[in-house]
Each structure stands twice: as C-alpha cells, then as structure tokens.
Structure 1
Amino acid sequence: MSQQEISVRIFKALGHPIRYKIVKFLYDGPKCVCKLNEDIEFSQANLSQHLKILKEAGILSSEKMGMNIHYRISSEEIKKIIDSVDKFVMSYSDNSK
C-alpha cells in the first residue's frame, strides 16, 4: 500500500462522525470498551465495526486487561492531526463571520 493510500485511509477513518467522536473520547487516554459503549450510544456490534476500522487505519491500538479491552490513540501524531483540525475549525469559524 502506498503512502498516499495510507493517508487516504486515515482521513476516511477520521471522516466519519462516530469514529471522530471515538477518537476525541480517547484523546485524554485509554478507556475500556465498556466506557466507549456508554458514551457512544450505538449497538456493541456497530461500535466494534467502527473500532475495527480505526485500528486497521493505525489510529487506535488495543490491549486486553483482564476481561476488558482498552483502546487508546496509537500515536501522538494522530493527536496532532486532531489538534490541527480543531485549530483550523476555530480559525475558519472566526473568519467566516
């Protein structure tokens, strides 16, 4: 897979509102999938599908701890992408008034 294809895969994964919400929820640190299920009000199957897409794009990683699976943002670079988009949105919304 080329670098461009990987970049597109990352942007596609982040481009879905539920997946973006998941990443924002995990921004401050790892959380159990049970906490994600409480915050992201969708079926377990739906949530699992979104988590799978985020993992396949390299955005999230997971770790089994006892009976639970904890998800985390895989890299500080992903946080930088989120920060850059948030900064751009603030600037864009200020300039479009």
Structure 2
Amino acid sequence: MVTSSVPLKKSVRLFHALSDETRLALLERLTEGEQCVCELTDAMKSAQSRLSFHLKVLKDAGLIRDRREGRWIYYSIVPDAIEELETVVDTLKQVAKSAVSADRCC
C-alpha cells in the first residue's frame, strides 16, 4: 500500500481549498507574486468581503500566507504547501497505477 507523508486531514483541507473556482483564480493571480486585497478585488471584479472569505479558506489550508503593512494585507503563495500538494497528487498517481496493474479480483 502506498501512503503519503502528508496527513490525511491536511490533504482534505488542501483539496477542499482547491474545490472552488474563485479560490483557484486567486491562487493563479498570486502566482504573479504578492498582492494586497485591493489589487485582488480590482483584478477579480469581486466584493472584498467575498474574496476575504476565500482567502481565509486558502490561508487555513496553508496554501497562502498574509503580511500586514499598515492598513493593508498582502497575500502570497506558500511554496512548501505547493510541494505538499504535489506529494499528495504523486501518491494518488502511484495508488492509481497500482490499482490498474493489480491482478486481483474484487
């Protein structure tokens, strides 16, 4: 049996955070570098309160971090979290390959 070094609950939080189109769009924007909420709000043409909710989900999953500077909050991607996600996906790929190649019944 193939197991991931990433705890199951962490994997669930990661995939939940990625299960929304707005959150995926936010992550895509943040690949361009650190951005403040006002920049994200303008770019995504969405209410600040709505984006704040999605940013919190991404932050709680450990995918992004925030940094305060005066009144502004800046968000950026956490590279280690992306590596964890890659580990989980690689594990799933190994499990899928094993399942396909397994010569067993039921």
TM over 0.5: yes
Q: TM-score range by the shorter chain?
A: 0.7 to 0.9
Aligned equivalent of 2:11:
7
Task: Give the gaps of 5 or more residues in structure 2.
Answer: 1-5, 90-106
The amino acid of 1:78's aligned partner reads I
Please identify the structure whose Cα radius of gyration is greater: 2
Task: Give the gaps of 5 or more residues in structure 1.
Answer: 86-97
- Taking only aligned residues, the RMSD between alpha carbons, in angstroms, comes to 2.3
Counterpart-to-counterpart distance in 1, 2:28 and 2:77? 9
- Aligned length, in residue pairs: 82
Shift in CA distance, 79/38, structure 1 to aligned 2, threshold 3 Å: farther
**Stretches (4+) displaced over 3 A:** 79-82
For CA contacts below 8 A with separation 6 or more, give which structure has more relative contact order: 2
If the length of structure 2 is used for normalisation, what is the TM-score? Answer: 0.68
Shift in CA distance, 39/66, structure 1 to aligned 2, threshold 3 Å: same
Aligned-pair identity in percent equals 35
